[in-house]
Every structure is written in C-alpha cells, then in structure tokens.
Amino acid sequence: MIAETIRKMVGVFLLVSFVVISMSKPVKEYLRLPKEIVMFEGEKVSFASAFPVHAEMKDTSRSIDVTKTEDSLSLEAKQRDEGQMILNMGGVPIKQVDIKVLPNLKVIPGGQSIGVKLNTLGVLVVGYHLVETEDGKKSPGELAGIRVGDIITNVNGKEIEKMSDLSPFIEEAGKTGQPLQLQLLRDQRSIATKLTPLKDKQDHAYRIGLYIRDSAAGIGTMTFYDPASKKYGALGHVISDMDTRKPIVVQDGQIMKSTVTSIEKGSSGNPGEKLARFSADKEVIGNITNNSPFGIFGTLSKPIQNGLFDEPMPIALSHQVKEGPAKMLTVIENDKVEAFDIEIVSSIPQKFPATKGLVIRVTDPRLLKKTGGIVQGMSGSPIIQDGKLVGAVTHVFVNDPTSGYGVHIEWMLNEAGIDIYGKQNRKAS
C-alpha cells in the first residue's frame, strides 16, 4: 500500500515537473526553432534564445555568419550554400538545423490591368445544336459521342487550329456521304470517333450539330515580371471556358494593355467586376504559353511599368509570409496602378505547390467605398509585405466581398519556370 502511494506521488511529481519544464521559456524557444531554415543571399534571420547554446556551422562556415547574444541567435547568409547548424549546450549536441541559402532573386511587381486573348488547342465543343432534318431534329455531334468540353484537334488526319478549318471537311463529307474521322482531346486523353454531318432542310447546308469556339478573351491583372528572363505571371488562377467551366487548353495567346472604364461594386452574394477595354492601339506586349491553376504565363515583348515599384524587389517564400498588414497593387481607374491596404488573415506555409495559400481582407477605406472589396478583374493583383512580393489575389469570397484567397508568389514563379532554388546553377557547376 505504501509502495503504491509512493509510486503515485513520484508519477505526479514527474508529470508536474514535465509540465513546468515544457512551459519554461528556454524549452519553448528550443521547440520553436525550426528543423530547416531557408534563406536568401544577404538575408538576416534572428531567433530568441534565452538559454546558453553554442552554434556550430557544419560545411557552411564561409557562407553563413552566426551571432549569439544573451537573448538572441542571428544568422546572416552571405552566399548560396547548404549545410547544417549544430546547437550545443555544455558541449552536448541538442539539435541539428538544416540550412539552405538560395540565390538572391528579385522581380518587378505588376498591378497593371491587362487584356488577355487565348487561342485554344484545336476547337472547343461548348454545346449541342439540333439540326432540323427530314427525319426530325438531331445533333450529329451528340450521336457521335462527343461531349461538351471535348477539343477537336484533328479531322481526317489534318490538324485543326480554328473553326474555319472545319468547314471544308464538313462540306466534303456531306457531298460524299463519308463520315468525318475525328480525333478528340478529353481530360488529357486522346479519343477517336466518327461523325456524319446531316443536311439542314431549311438551307440545305450540312452541319455537325455542335457549338464550337476557338478563342477566348478577358481582363486580369499582371502579377510580376522578371527582367532577367523577360518571363511574367498574371491572374493567379486558371482561365476556364465560360460555358464548359473547364480549363482552356492553350495553343497560344497574347496579352495587351487594358484600361478600366468603370467598376461594378461587389456585395454579399454578388461579386463585383472591373469593366475594362483593350487599349486603343491594341498593342501586344507579350505572349501566353501556359494556362495553369497558378495563372497565365509567358514572356513580355515590351517592358512595362507600374509607376510605384519599377525596380526589382525580393520575394518571400510561403513559410516567410506573416499574418498582418500588407499592400495590394491594382487599377480601379483608367490605367493608374495604386497601392491599397489589406490584411493577411492567414498564410499556410506550403511545402509543395498549391493554390489558396493565403486568406486576405481589404482594409483600405477608399477601395472598400469604390469596389466593395475584391472584384472580378483583380485576380493577379500582387501582394507586398515588408518590402517583399509575397503573393497574388486570386478569388473573392462570394458572401463577403471584402475578403478572398491569394496564392503564394513562390508557386507562380515556379510555374513560370523561374529558377528560385538555384537548381540550374547547381547543375551547371
């Protein structure tokens, strides 16, 4: 009985001791110290450090300076490198921290309103059309098993690039009675089918019974421009077809300057919109090579300026973005880029490319009065925090136009093919 009581008392004592120790400042600081630290060349990182530790750099002594004071531990990255920092207490190793120093990458933030013109790969099927024949109304396309969202890429062994390319084949098939041999792209799979055009009894023309489209146009916002490679990123989300709601598979496209003519103010349940037109000269300023979940990407043929931040600025990786005040660059009148106050409500330190890593809220009184918050056309508006480009606006909350999602700039740069992590230099060396 006495032994059982002693065991219980010892157990309680150990539990209380563990709780007290775990709540102590040094232990909390130790637990907060990450297992991996990623920095850029020239960057400084500091951590609170109340307990007496000695930091020893392994393999990186020339590229990283370590400074230990009574209450902090500071690291300064001098050049690109990888290695470990060993923390010792009383000569005993207590923790290893992997350190990676990345090249000092800087890009120019955007904010400009841009016009977007996309040309699809092949022609996109957006609906069925019933042909009035002698035997009733039928859709040859639907009878052939073609679905809305399919892309017709090839007819009778010939590539199809635009809608007008189909007309000669339809006419020829109608005259000969031979079905069209179609190659379709469906959910990234190639499918073959046959389609027999039917004659419309009204005008005696042969038709395939499909509504098709070969291009799309709209407006958005430029996010960044890399002066070294001339690559850019915009929008921050994929462009989908307005009818099929599926991402547009791009063959090519162009971007040009656009001018905001008016704003439809957003409200709960009713997202607002920027109304804009392509600039009068319709001068193409860049191409579009990729339409992805992270935006549209390509290269600029002409440099652009926003008038606020026309010099390259550093970027922040996803784990470096903090909750708190930030700025959003966008246009609400004509072609003038302005900076508006926002708050980063939450930021997920993503380890792999993913969308919707940020939640933001507009706090700027003037922007709230003018637009109600985030409106369509603001997608791609760059987000700046502490002098760094951290992300871009992507979506508005339908029931709360003052708030919305953003994407981390790290993933947009990665999607643009810009070497953030120094892999190309490492391979070359």
Q: Which residues pair with 262 in a beta bridge?
A: 275
**Out of 241, 258, 364, 395, which one is annotated catalytic?**
364
Tell me, yes or no, if 204 is annotated catalytic: no
Q: Which residues pair with 258 in a beta bridge?
A: 278
**Out of 63, 81, 139, 237, which one is annotated catalytic?**
237
> 188 and 163 in contact (C-beta within 8 Å)?
no
The CA-based angle 33-36-41, given to 5 degrees, is: 110
Phi, psi of 387 (to 5 degrees): 75, 15
Tell me, yes or no, if 379 is annotated catalytic: yes
Q: Could you count the other beta carbons within 10 Å of the beta carbon of residue 218? A: 17
The tokens 């960044």 sit on which residue?
A: 224
CA pair distance 40, 33, nearest whole angstrom: 18
Joined tokens for residue 168: 């000669």
List all residues 6 or more positions away from 166 whose beta carbon is below 8 Å from its beta carbon: 123, 152, 155, 160, 208, 212
> 92 and 52 in contact (C-beta within 8 Å)?
no
**Out of 113, 258, 318, 379, which one is annotated catalytic?**
379
Tell me, yes or no, if 341 is annotated catalytic: no
List all residues 6 or more positions away from 285 whose beta carbon is below 8 Å from its beta carbon: 114, 255, 256, 257, 300, 301, 302, 304
* Helices (H) then strands (E): counts for the chain: 7, 31
- Residue 63 DSSP SS3: coil
Expressed in angstroms, the distance from the first to the final Cα of the chain is 72
Provide the annotated active-site residues: 237, 364, 379
